[in-house]
Structure 1
Amino acid sequence: MNKATSVTSCRRRFFKAFQNVQRCHLSLAYTLHEPPHSLNCSKDYPLVILHGLFGSKQNHRSISKALARELQRPVYALDLRNHGESPHDSVHDYPSMADDVDEFIHHHRLKQPVLIGHSMGAKVAMTVALRSSSLLGALIPVDNAPVDALLKSDFGKYLAGMREVESTGIRKQVQADHILSKYEDAPAIRQFLMTNLVKSPNSGVLGFRIPIQTLASSLANMGDFPFRDPVAACHKGPTLFVRGTRSHYVPDDVLPVIGQFFPRFNIQDIDCGHWIMTERPDLFKLAVVSFLRDLDSDES
């Protein structure tokens, strides 16, 4: 997509950590999940859900509907830049993605939203919170921490597999699955990657809707975290970190750092791996609902 048509506006912002960097915010695609009997639901404190790397708003459709129903609040599931149906841009880092989400919240006039982000989306959500603390009603990062950490090598393998798929000119998903099986044994993860496959209307050849080269060159950015000093940037709003006990992204030794950036944090452990919202949606929903209802009772 041509950058001139995909960028809705561009502004220069200056932050202490990002001096003299020009970033453009993009207009993000989203799905709004209204609760049943939505005329009686509160429009305040909506939930905004951010997916992880190679994901999209479709990944969290079931949990979004369940949370909307349980909490009687609207839930916005977003496609982050270079993912799903959102525009592409050559810049893919946390400050730029946070710009997009910040603009989404302002454009839709969301009042004190609860920002939920998984993996890459968790770092986007934390970046928004640390830059614009008063904007949020609550923060829920899922299986990621506010530290620099190398991504698992799996992500590089996935990109190599996707490159091979695109280079072969295949027309059937079973062919793509066969190629990806050389890079990933788990069928569920291969199916997750193939949710990004689209067919060319002209040739019928399958390709990926995500910009593979852009994401490949941005993997190092995805391991980084754009804040270093919790004295200069601190979010004092209510925060729930949810981590998988069989994942490595939020080890115990980073909890002091989390406490410095997010002094009002709680942590919820769930017995699963990194893909918490998919592996244990029941326990994840229970954790979120309990956390937010406790906040409601504290305020009443």
Structure 2
Amino acid sequence: MGTLCFCCAQIQFLLKLTRPIPKHVVKRSAVDLAYKIHGRRPTDGIPVIVLHGLLGSKRNWDTMSKNISHGLNRSVVAVDIRNHGDSPHVNSHTYAELAEDVVKLLGKLSVSKADLIGHSMGGRTAMVLALSEPSKISHLVVVDISPVSTAGILNDFFPKLIDVMKSCNIESQPDEAAAKNVAKEKIYASGIVPPNAPIHFILMNIGTRANKVAWKCNLDVLKHHFTDIASFPSEMAGKTFDGPTLFVGGRNSNYIPPDDITGIKGFFPKADLVYVQGVGHNPHAEDPNAFFNIVTNFLSK
């Protein structure tokens, strides 16, 4: 086998030097999110995009989405975030990817600008999207989550809950009703929630995937990426979104301490922080009337 001459070898060496260095070793790709449109077509004015929290789905926001659409006479698009509901199950779950998924959805809907409402994990997704693509966002509503603090329950409760959910073995049950009964008994028996505490939001994750009863959330991937979910991405440091921004916290929740407003304004200079009295981490579900009035007044401005 012959050897390269000096000139050929030198040319190949120079070509290697001039090749662009890839920015990422792993190429990320956005997924096609499942969604439900309430009211008008998304292209009629500026739509409202609703992003649920961890272990939630667009179904959790069904009534509120309808009410906001009717109250504002606007399109409301409720989304299943990747690895949840009817959206694809994939092997990665970072906020950069979640935001890219929503950008892809906006393109699919032919929407150039939208208002965002995001709860908990969905709130951080909305924040990352607004900071990364500010020209695409008109108003931003973040529900009971902070870019500054991380509440202890986020680190303690959800990983334990995911482990209990994985242990329920609902795939062996004949139908969804039987699977929900098994999961209900297992969750209460674990002590992860108080006896008779409402857990319907957890049981709503039981459905049919690939023609069998299963959890509709990707528990393995969510557990693996929990550190990513439980923290605000460090690469957002130094970025700002200068549009109208509202943080809505539950007064009985510790997800947005009042002192966080200084750090919040570092990302969102026009941010206001309000609390719904007498509620915890889910103000939209625990006091829907108060939440509706706060959010629709803000989005009407």
In the superposition, the TM-score normalised over structure 2's length comes to: 0.83
Task: Give the corresponding residue for 2:166.
Answer: 163
Say if 1:242 and 1:270, in contact at 8 Å, map to a contact too: yes
Quote the sequence identity (%). Answer: 32
Residues 27 and 233 of structure 1: CA distance in aligned 2, closer, same or farther (over 3 Å): same
2:38 maps to amino acid? H
Cα deviation for residue 228 of structure 1 reads 5.6
Residues 42 and 214 of structure 1: CA distance in aligned 2, closer, same or farther (over 3 Å): closer
Say if 2:80 and 2:87, in contact at 8 Å, map to a contact too: yes
* Structure 2: distance between partners of 1:189 and 1:23: 37
Q: Out of 157, 177, 194, which is 2:203 matched to? A: 194
* Structure 2: distance between partners of 1:229 and 1:81: 21
1:112 aligns with 2:117: no
Task: Give the corresponding residue for 1:138.
Answer: 139
Q: Out of 225, 228, 237, which is 1:221 matched to? A: 228
Say if 1:137 and 1:238, in contact at 8 Å, map to a contact too: yes
* Structure 2: distance between partners of 1:228 and 1:191: 35
Task: Give the corresponding residue for 1:85.
Answer: 86
Task: Give the corresponding residue for 2:217.
Answer: 210
Task: Give the corresponding residue for 1:5.
Answer: none
1:251 aligns with 2:257: yes
Residues 47 and 199 of structure 1: CA distance in aligned 2, closer, same or farther (over 3 Å): closer
1:32 maps to amino acid? I
2:130 maps to amino acid? A
Moved more, 185-194 or 174-183: 185-194
Say if 1:148 and 1:223, in contact at 8 Å, map to a contact too: no
Task: Give the corresponding residue for 1:22.
Answer: 27
**What is the correspondence of 1:1-300 to structure 2 with a 5 Å cutoff?**
22-34=27-39, 43-147=44-148, 149=150, 151-166=154-169, 169-171=172-174, 172=178, 173-181=180-188, 182=190, 183-185=192-194, 187=196, 189-199=198-208, 206-227=213-234, 230=237, 232-271=238-277, 272-293=279-300, 295=301
RMSD: 2.3
Residues 27 and 268 of structure 1: CA distance in aligned 2, closer, same or farther (over 3 Å): same
Say if 1:46 and 1:111, in contact at 8 Å, map to a contact too: no
* Structure 2: distance between partners of 1:32 and 1:186: 36
In the superposition, the TM-score normalised over structure 1's length comes to: 0.84
* Structure 2: distance between partners of 1:256 and 1:237: 17
Unaligned runs of 5+ in 2: 1-21
Higher alpha-carbon Rg: 2
Cα deviation for residue 147 of structure 1 reads 2.7
Cα deviation for residue 148 of structure 1 reads 5.7
